[in-house]
Structure 1
Amino acid sequence: MSRWEPNARGRLERAALDLYREHGFEQTTAAQIAERAGLTERTFFRHYADKREVLFGGASVMEEFFVETLTGAPETAGPLDAIAATLHAAGALFEGRYEFARQRQEIIMASPELRERELNKLASLSRAVADTLERRGVPADAAHLAAEVGTAVFKVGFERWIGSDGTRPLEDFLGEALRELRALTAGC
């Protein structure tokens, strides 16, 4: 194998998804993923801490994106408006990633361990959003409520997107979920 591995991370990601779907997450090893990608196991561990991170490595990127986008929202925007703007922008993170996202979710749903990990990543995202809102001056209780609501909107929109045929962007589904939330709360 050569020392330089073009698109090693992408190759590992593709190999892992294929193997997880063929043999199951639990039965697949990092060595098998590396071999399928035409790389060494050492290269695998240069890119991922463990085989779960192939599925969750993007969570930190998404969390950073949410925090940065939310931080950059106009100071005059209320918590939900700032979250709405962040959700609107978040669709760009998944552009061209529909098939990966769909397959990833299928693998996660087949494993209790991975479902728990997914919930932990969503909880971490919610905490990061709440902390950011608090730094914007939103009282702690309101910040946590808004963050949980925003995370729920993201989760619902994302699930609808991966359950679709992939022809519409994630942003459309996030916008629909947000409009539904607003309609539900308008009568309160």
Structure 2
Amino acid sequence: MGVRAERKAATRRDIQAAALDLIEAAGLEATTVAQIAERAGVSERTFFRYYVSKEAAALPGQDELIEALVGRDLARNMSPAQIRDELMDVCRAQFAHELENYEFLQISRLVLREPKILQMVRRQELQLVTELSNSLMERKLLDRMQSLLVAEVIACTWRVAWQCFAHEQDAGADADPAELYERAVADLSEIASPLGR
């Protein structure tokens, strides 16, 4: 990563950290873009170069996850289950990346407390399903129904793992998000296995 890219990444993280701190302290409605920009040490104009709204600044977004899922090289002769498993591996790697790079504890608390943040998460999830299913169809890997089902399973597993983590944290339990993701994958397999017989 070059110096310019590192600087941009640092600015993005600074804006997000400021947004999370302010929204957690005062609430989403009471927090303004101007306050976030000031806290991050940037202008409002710079803020809008990185994020479209204060809600977007509070969430890392799923752009990296979508990019990784859509960019995964998949062979045409793979079964839907093999494609699903390959994409689950992408999610595992992305999950580890998010744990290292984002303030997931703050984000999980905000998702529970702020309905607008939860709405944004749901919009991002819909974007993930749409882009992933379209990619699978365009590459002629799966038909429409299979593409949608695989994309929904990927998005659902991701969301359930994060929701369980947020609830565990809210209850004061010491939870490991990566373990919860693996449990969500295992539970999904157990729940869905009789359907395939």
State the alpha-carbon separation in 2 of the partners of residues 169 and 156 from structure 1. Answer: 11
State the alpha-carbon separation in 1 of the partners of residues 89 and 47 from structure 2. Answer: 33
Whether the 8 Å contact between 1:67 and 1:132 is mirrored in structure 2 is yes
With normalisation by structure 2, the TM-score equals: 0.79
Question: Aligned in 2, Cα 1:161/1:91: closer, same or farther, shift over 3 Å?
Answer: farther
Task: Report the secondary structure of 1:187's partner residue.
Answer: helix
- Tell me which amino acid in the other structure corresponds to 1:78: S
| Post-superposition offset of 1:41 | 2.0
Question: Aligned in 2, Cα 1:157/1:81: closer, same or farther, shift over 3 Å?
Answer: farther
Question: Aligned in 2, Cα 1:186/1:50: closer, same or farther, shift over 3 Å?
Answer: closer
**Is the aligned partner of 1:23 residue 2:26?**
yes
Tell me, which stretches of 5 or more residues in structure 2 are unaligned? none
* Residue matched to 2:130: 127
| Post-superposition offset of 1:174 | 2.9
* Residue matched to 2:16: 13
Q: Deviations over 1:113-165 (max 9, x none)?
A: 22222111111111122112223331212221222122211212233345463
- Tell me which amino acid in the other structure corresponds to 1:187: P
- Give identity over the alignment, percent: 26
Across the aligned residues of Structure 1 and Structure 2, the Cα RMSD in angstroms comes to: 2.5
**Is the aligned partner of 1:173 residue 2:184?**
no
Whether the 8 Å contact between 1:87 and 1:174 is mirrored in structure 2 is no
Whether the 8 Å contact between 1:19 and 1:28 is mirrored in structure 2 is yes
* Equivalent in 12, 34, 37 of residue 34 of structure 1: 37
State the alpha-carbon separation in 1 of the partners of residues 180 and 90 from structure 2. Answer: 12
**Residue pairs, 1:13-92, within 5 angstroms:** 13-69=16-72, 72-92=73-93
Whether the 8 Å contact between 2:161 and 2:181 is mirrored in structure 1 is yes
With normalisation by structure 1, the TM-score equals: 0.82
- Tell me which amino acid in the other structure corresponds to 2:32: T
Whether the 8 Å contact between 1:125 and 1:151 is mirrored in structure 2 is yes
State the alpha-carbon separation in 2 of the partners of residues 56 and 80 from structure 1. Answer: 30
Whether the 8 Å contact between 1:79 and 1:133 is mirrored in structure 2 is no
- The total of aligned residue pairs comes to 181
Q: Deviations over 1:38-66 (max 9, x none)?
A: 22222212221221211345322221111
